[in-house]
Chain A
Amino acid sequence: MKRKMAAKVIAAGLVVAMTAVGLSGCTFGFASDPDDPNEVEEEIPIDMSVDSFQYDSSLNGTSITLLNSKAEIQVALEEMGKVFEEKSGVHVEVMPVTDGESPYTKVVSLYNSGTPPTLSILDTTDVIALAEEKGEDLSGENWTAEAEDYLTKVNGKVYSFPLCIEGRGIIYNKAAIEEALGEEFDPSSIKTREDFTEILEELVAAGVEKPISVAKEDWSLGAHLLQYIYETYDGTSAGAQEIIEEIKDGSLDLESYDRMTGFLDTFDVLKKYNVAKADPLGADYDEMAIDLADGKTVFWVNGNWAWPNLEEAGAEKEDEYGFLPFFMSDDETDFANQMIQGSPSKQIMMDGQMASEEEKAAAREFLNWIVYSEIGQQMLVNTCNLIPPFQNNPYEPADPLSRDIYEKVQRGEAFNASAIVPNDHWSVLGAAMQKYLAGRSDREELIGSIEDYWAEQE
Chain B
Amino acid sequence: MKSKNKGKDFGIFALPGMFCFFAVVIIPFIYGVYLTFTDWDGVAEVKNFIGLANFQKVIEDHEFWTSMLLTFKYVILVVLLVNIIAFAIAYLLTRGFKGQNFFRAGFFTPNLIGGIVLGYIWQFVFSRVFVNIGESTGWSLFEASWLSDPNKAFAAMVLVSVWQLSGYMILIYVAGFMGLSEDVMEAASIDGASGWLKMRKIVLPLMMSSITICLFLTLSRAFMVYDVNLSLTAGGPYGTTEMAAMHVYEKAFTSRQFGAGQAEALILFIVVACISGLQVYLTKKQEVEA
Contact = CB atoms under 8 A, between A and B. Distances in A.
A joins B in a complex: yes
Interface of A: 3-5, 7-8, 10-12, 14-15, 18-19, 21-22, 24-25, 28, 30, 100, 102, 104-105, 108, 111-112, 129-130, 133-134, 216, 218, 278-282, 284, 422-424, 427-428, 431-432, 434-435, 438, 440
A399 B57 CA distance: 48
Nearest to A11: B103
Given A134-B43, A424-B250, A18 B236 contact: no
Contacts of B125: 21, 24-25
Where chain B touches its partner, the secondary structure class is helix
B89 to A, nearest CB: 7
Contacts of A434: 236-238
B189 interface: no
B131 interface: yes
Contacts of A8: 97-99
Given A8-B97, A282-B147, A102 B253 contact: yes
A218 B236 contact: yes
Q: Which of A7, A10, A102, A129 has the most CB of B within 10 A?
A: A7
Nearest to B61: A456
A25 B160 CA distance: 14
B145 A282 contact: yes
Contacts of B145: 279, 281-282
Contacts, number: 119
Given A15-B107, A18-B107, A435 B127 contact: no
B109 interface: yes
Contacts of A4: 95-97
Interface string B122-133: 001101110100
B28 interface: no
Nearest to A111: B43
A12 B103 CA distance: 7
A7 B92 contact: yes
Contacts of B93: 11
A422 B250 CA distance: 13
A5 B98 CA distance: 10
Nearest to B103: A11
A282 B134 CA distance: 13
Nearest to B127: A282
A432 B238 contact: yes
A105 B258 CA distance: 11
A423 B148 contact: no
A306 to B, nearest CB: 20
B238 A423 contact: no
B237 A438 contact: yes
A130 B43 contact: yes
Contacts of B230: 100
B69 interface: no
Contacts of B148: 216, 279-282, 438
A22 B121 contact: yes
A22 B124 contact: no
Interface in B237-254: 237-239, 250, 253-254
